[in-house]
Chain A
Amino acid sequence: MRIRTAKTLAERIDLHYFKRAHGMRRWRYVLSAAAPLAAALWVAALMAAGSRTPYSPGPVSAAHAFAENRCEVCHAGSAPGSPPASAFRAHTTDAACLTCHDGPAHAPNQPSPPGCASCHQEHRGRVQLASIDDGYCAGCHANLKTAHGEPRVARQVGSFPAGHPEFAALRPGTRDPARLRFNHAVHMKPDLRGPKGREQLACATCHTPEAVAAVSGAKRPARTGLMSPATYERNCASCHPLFFDERLERVAPHAEPAAVRAFVRQALTDYIRANPDDLSKPDSALRRVPLNFPRPPEPPARTADEWVARRAAADERLLWNKTCVECHSASASADLPVYEPTNVTKRWMPRAAFDHSPHLMVACASCHAAGSSTSTADVLLPPASLCASCHSGARGTLLSPGGGAESRCFACHRYHDWTKARPVTPSYPLSNTR
């Protein structure tokens, strides 16, 4: 009968078995040496090859892709020309950014301007460095503090639209400051009498995207994104010509009263010189320009100068008291009238960068309620809530997938005050990209 006792079992065992590595343990030892060695060799090979890409936390932005493999371009550790701050540290500094870029100040009363890399975080892929999260802005603007004086913007601004105040131009009590009489509703009526018969005006008849001089060789002119300001010559003159005398086919210039007066007198002088017989002719009953200012019957003029003076006085009365005041407000004066500057606002949101170009597929009336506006004082901008109907936030979260057009601060606002930009002297040689 086979009996297994502790003694017989103990006698089976080689007392020195642990001195020899067994298969699985041997493999563990071999691999435990090989794996870290392989890792160290890989790193050593990278160092020998001078490659630092694997240490990079991620691809750099599209604008900096040229220096993807040249860490020293940004990671200089100190300003060019200055002694290194540390033999070990090679962090980016603002000086490295300012070598190629200008970064004008944000606001003169900003308490502590952050460093470039605080907002423009690199190594996050082929992104635009200006496309930063709202949090960077809200870090200060959620509870705005200034180094001195009062802030010129709302003290508490959050993300758009929930935390954004109503546009300044649309806040209660704000009016269009233009000193011009204009009725959008009238101009939007159908069957208006135009120079070529009946016509229906559209927004684009008067308002077109502003185009600036194109870069040489460009296929199309560059656009600012703003609308061109409406001008009399371009938008009004075709329907509202400044005729001033029924005998003349000429129209007065849209200019200062003194220039108009000089033009009218010169035009009349030219006319009477060409038509001396008209000195004795009475005024025609068919007047091109209706005269609502009856004049007492006068004897025929004896000289051309007298004729010109009489007609100029009448024509000026027509212009000053009827034609010009259709649109302009005049203040009385002894001789020539003084018209207030029209003060038409070219840019309604000076703190925002709105571009009409991406919005051209939307009907103008969707945002601008011009069809019902009868007063110049009406501000025809869309409210922030209307913008939010599309710009509802592109960033999704774990619980909400997000969607809609971009609504982060940078979509409309610029951190740097580029009006204070200074030209930089580029110092990066092209040979460094190879």
Chain B
Amino acid sequence: MLIDRSHRGWAMASAAILGAAVVAYVPYTLRSAPPGGGTMLGLVYGTTAFGFMAYATLLALRKKFPIWRIGRTQSWMRGHLWLGALSLPLVLLHSGFLFGHGLTSILMWLFVVVWASGLFGAWLQHTMPRRLLREVPMETIYEQIGRVRAQLLDEGDAVVADACGKLEVEVAPPRPQLLPAASAAGPAVASHLLVSVLRTGSGGADAGAPLRDFYLTEIRPFLEAPSRRHPVADAAAAAVMAAKVRALLPPALHAPLEDLANLCEEERQLLRQERLHGTLHAWLIVHVPLAYAVMVLAVVHLVMALRF
């Protein structure tokens, strides 16, 4: 989520709450008893922080039920960001900046990890989408990258077959999730299939040999198993290689070569999208599960603290 002018209200409210909390803390920490969670003000800090944490956690529920009329998800997200950020300072004021012992200590450290990962995530969400837009104009739905890759491979085979005539390639059977839902539970297929892509009425085989060889030795392995270590994964190196092949080809085959180059570029962008998407979302694997664990332990802490 972009942190822009629409956050101004939340930011000002959060700053006001934090300021009030700090102002109240100064005389509180100078008085007789050392600050702690058991004092009246300590309980106020703790309860407020717990409320903010609970609100931040409820965002997941809000997302699960988008038709509920309980405010826009965007507003919930802003609240999640700002109140979540505010919760750690309040927890620290609640505990008197001590990390405690036993459950309290575990809770505090987990919460610090959750808070820090959330802050990191907010920064990523603020900066990464623009970068994605800039660096991956051919972006697709992340979960569909595998499926799109299979289609790019088919498209590459078809382009070369169209240009050079028959093309014999060994292909791995499609993964079930890449098949339409109806055929996903079909009969088992062999580990590899020999596929012939046959096109008629195309140019001479000799003229298209450099293109077919270039495709089979360099481009197809890259489309089949994309890797950042592959020579074609580097746009500049791929352009040099394509230029060399281009010199060997008749003008009629320049257009298929351009199409192959375009396919490689799309594949490179999918690779970049995978990497950036991983960066953009990997923190959630830490943030979300630990947030739930923190909430469970916070409830236990709350009950035990009030009891004893």
Q: How far is the CB of B290 from chain A (nearest CB, A)?
A: 6
Q: How long is the Cα–Cα vector from A25 to B277 in the complex, in angstroms? A: 12
Contact indicator B148/A12 (Cβ below 8 Å): yes
Residues on the A chain within 8 Å of B288, using CB: 28, 31-32
- Evaluate whether A24 and B281 lie within 8 angstroms (CB atoms) in the complex, with A57-B104, A139-B31 already known: yes
Residues on the A chain within 8 Å of B284, using CB: 24, 28
Residues on the B chain within 8 Å of A139, using CB: 31-32
Interface membership of B263, Cβ < 8 A: yes
Contact indicator B104/A14 (Cβ below 8 Å): no
Interface membership of A18, Cβ < 8 A: yes
Interface string of A52-70 (1 = CB under 8 A from B): 0111111100000000000
Q: How long is the Cα–Cα vector from A259 to B252 in the complex, in angstroms? A: 145
Residues on the A chain within 8 Å of B296, using CB: 36, 39-40, 43
Contact indicator B255/A1 (Cβ below 8 Å): yes
Interface residues of A in 1-60 (CB under 8 A from B): 1-2, 4, 9, 12-14, 16-18, 20, 22, 24-25, 27-28, 31-32, 34-36, 38-40, 43, 53-59
Interface residues of B in 134-167 (CB under 8 A from A): 138, 140-144, 147-148, 151, 155, 159
- Evaluate whether A133 and B32 lie within 8 angstroms (CB atoms) in the complex, with A22-B142, A36-B293 already known: yes
Contact indicator B103/A12 (Cβ below 8 Å): no
Residues on the A chain within 8 Å of B255, using CB: 1
Interface membership of B102, Cβ < 8 A: yes
Q: How far is the CB of A208 from chain B (nearest CB, A)?
A: 40
Interface-lining segment among A84-92, A182-190, A361-369: A84-92
Which single member of A22, A53, A91 contacts B102 (CB below 8 Å)?
A: A53
Contact indicator B307/A31 (Cβ below 8 Å): no
Which single member of A38, A56, A136 contacts B293 (CB below 8 Å)?
A: A38
Interface string of B174-185 (1 = CB under 8 A from A): 000100110000
Contact indicator B293/A71 (Cβ below 8 Å): no
- Evaluate whether A36 and B295 lie within 8 angstroms (CB atoms) in the complex, with A28-B285, A43-B300, A56-B101 already known: yes
- Evaluate whether A59 and B143 lie within 8 angstroms (CB atoms) in the complex, with A36-B292, A121-B33, A121-B34 already known: no
Contact indicator A56/B102 (Cβ below 8 Å): yes
Residues on the A chain within 8 Å of B177, using CB: 20
Interface membership of B289, Cβ < 8 A: yes
Contact indicator B307/A34 (Cβ below 8 Å): no
Residues on the B chain within 8 Å of A20, using CB: 143, 177
Q: How far is the CB of A74 from chain B (nearest CB, A)?
A: 9
State how many residues of chain B have any CB contact under 8 Å with chain A: 52
Which single member of A22, A28, A40, A59 contacts B289 (CB below 8 Å)?
A: A28
- Evaluate whether A1 and B259 lie within 8 angstroms (CB atoms) in the complex, with A32-B292, A35-B292, A56-B101 already known: yes
Which single member of B33, B36, B140, B306 contacts A135 (CB below 8 Å)?
A: B33
Interface membership of B100, Cβ < 8 A: yes
Residues on the B chain within 8 Å of A53, using CB: 102
Q: How long is the Cα–Cα vector from A89 to B144 in the complex, in angstroms? A: 55
Contact indicator A9/B140 (Cβ below 8 Å): yes
Contact indicator A39/B297 (Cβ below 8 Å): yes
Chain A interface residue bracket vs B: 35 or more
Contact indicator A118/B33 (Cβ below 8 Å): yes
Question: Which residue among A12, A53, A90, A138 has the maximum number of chain B CB atoms within 10 Å of its CB?
Answer: A12
Interface membership of A347, Cβ < 8 A: no
Q: How long is the Cα–Cα vector from A71 to B308 in the complex, in angstroms? A: 9
Q: How long is the Cα–Cα vector from A27 to B278 in the complex, in angstroms? A: 13
Q: How far is the CB of A413 from chain B (nearest CB, A)?
A: 15
Q: How far is the CB of A294 from chain B (nearest CB, A)?
A: 73
Interface string of B260-285 (1 = CB under 8 A from A): 00110000000000000010011011
Q: How long is the Cα–Cα vector from A386 to B131 in the complex, in angstroms? A: 69
Q: Output the nearest chain B residue to A34 by Cβ-Cβ distance.
A: B289
Interface membership of B258, Cβ < 8 A: yes
Contact indicator B32/A135 (Cβ below 8 Å): yes
- Evaluate whether A24 and B33 lie within 8 angstroms (CB atoms) in the complex, with A13-B144, A36-B296, A40-B296 already known: no
Residues on the A chain within 8 Å of B188, using CB: none
Q: How far is the CB of B285 from chain A (nearest CB, A)?
A: 6
Interface membership of A75, Cβ < 8 A: yes
Q: How far is the CB of A365 from chain B (nearest CB, A)?
A: 39
Q: How long is the Cα–Cα vector from A58 to B36 in the complex, in angstroms? A: 12
Contact indicator B278/A24 (Cβ below 8 Å): yes
Interface membership of B61, Cβ < 8 A: no
Q: How long is the Cα–Cα vector from A89 to B288 in the complex, in angstroms? A: 33
Residues on the A chain within 8 Å of B290, using CB: 35
Q: How far is the CB of A197 from chain B (nearest CB, A)?
A: 61
Residues on the A chain within 8 Å of B190, using CB: none
Q: Output the nearest chain A residue to B143 by Cβ-Cβ distance.
A: A22
Residues on the B chain within 8 Å of A17, using CB: 141, 143-144, 147
Contact indicator B308/A91 (Cβ below 8 Å): yes
Contact indicator A12/B292 (Cβ below 8 Å): no
Residues on the A chain within 8 Å of B281, using CB: 24
- Evaluate whether A1 and B101 lie within 8 angstroms (CB atoms) in the complex, with A24-B278, A55-B308, A91-B308 already known: no
Q: Output the nearest chain A residue to B292 by Cβ-Cβ distance.
A: A36
Which single member of A9, A13, A57, A138 contacts B100 (CB below 8 Å)?
A: A57
Residues on the A chain within 8 Å of B181, using CB: 14, 16
Q: Output the nearest chain A residue to B38 by Cβ-Cβ distance.
A: A57
Question: Which residue among B159, B258, B300 has the maximum number of chain A CB atoms within 10 Å of its CB?
Answer: B300
Residues on the B chain within 8 Å of A138, using CB: 32
Q: How far is the CB of A46 from chain B (nearest CB, A)?
A: 9
Contact indicator B258/A1 (Cβ below 8 Å): yes
Contact indicator A89/B285 (Cβ below 8 Å): no
Which single member of B34, B102, B141, B308 contacts A13 (CB below 8 Å)?
A: B141
Q: How far is the CB of B38 from chain A (nearest CB, A)?
A: 8
Contact indicator A55/B102 (Cβ below 8 Å): yes
Interface CB pairs A-B, < 8 A, 10: A4-B138, A12-B140, A13-B141, A24-B281, A35-B290, A54-B106, A55-B300, A71-B308, A90-B307, A139-B31
Apart from A17-B147, A55-B301: 11 A-B pairs, beta carbons within 8 A: A2-B155, A16-B181, A17-B141, A17-B143, A17-B144, A35-B289, A43-B297, A53-B102, A55-B308, A89-B307, A91-B308
Spell out A's residues near B (CB within 8 Å).
1-2, 4, 9, 12-14, 16-18, 20, 22, 24-25, 27-28, 31-32, 34-36, 38-40, 43, 53-59, 71, 75, 88-91, 118, 121, 123, 133, 135-139
